[in-house]
Amino acid sequence: MAKEKDEVKAESKPKTLAAKLCGVMRRVGAIEKKGFNAHHRYHYAREADVSDAVRSALVEEGLCLIPSMLAASKEGSLTAIQMSYRLIDAE
């Protein structure tokens, strides 16, 4: 009977944030590089592909990532965007 109580306690104990993030990493794995920079000739993972892959894994772990654009600047052909992300744990 004591063993059953210990098992119930272990099952109801919330996962740590670190454990949830490891779960996200395990679920997402490698993200296919669908983008291509013709000027420098390299492939890259597009932001939309990363967001789509990570979003569902975060939700499965009870996490939510909320982006917020802090600033944007343009100098010639270079555009810089400063972002902030808030990670929320639903538990």
Element (H, E) at 78: strand 78-89
Cα 70–chain centre separation: 19
Helices and strands per DSSP (H, E), number in the chain = 3, 4
- pLDDT tens digits for range 45-82: 998 999 899 999 999 999 999 999 999 999 999 999 99
67 contacts 79 by C-beta, under 8 angstroms: no
* Angle formed at CA 40 by CA 39 and CA 45, multiple of 5 degrees: 105
In the predicted structure, residue 7 carries a pLDDT above the cut 70:
no
Q: List, in sequence order, the alpha helices (H) in 13-68.
A: 17-28, 47-60
Q: What is the pLDDT of residue 13?
A: 82
